Amino acid sequence: MTMEKIHTDKAPAAIGPYSQAIVHAGVLYTSGQIAINPETSEVEAKDIEGQTHQICRNLGEVLKQAGTSFENVIKTTCFLADMGDFAKFNEVYGQYFTSKPARSCVAVKALPKGVLAEVEVIAKV
């Protein structure tokens, strides 16, 4: 079976040796998205709410490029720099992931560029 690399200029370019996402056997696997504004290549939002909105906008563009959407997300993995942000993160996250996919959410010591959160998804295409 073949794998298709997914790339869109409407989401941040990979900051390492990886793809924004891969489609294999009808399933999309995204790399983790952080709160980089693809137009400026900067992390602009300083709070968890603003960063979560940017993360979800980025994921939305990757999903769209792959021909799918938030409604087809099967599983998410969420990484938070501070579990004290959990409730605020959930409030914004719930605005995008209305189909309530399966999810893991863990606290991590640090994230790239000092961001507060990172999210990756698995979705059907």
CB 32 within 8 A of CB 58: no
Q: Is 56 a catalytic residue?
A: no
Question: Among 45, 105, 111, 122, which one carries the catalytic annotation?
Answer: 105
Q: What is the three-class DSSP state of 70?
A: helix
Give the angle 42-13-109 at the CA atoms, nearest 5°: 65
Please give the Cα distance from 46 to 50 (Å, whole number): 7
Please state at what angle helix 48-65 crosses helix 86-96, rounded to 10 degrees: 30
Residues annotated catalytic, as ranges = 105
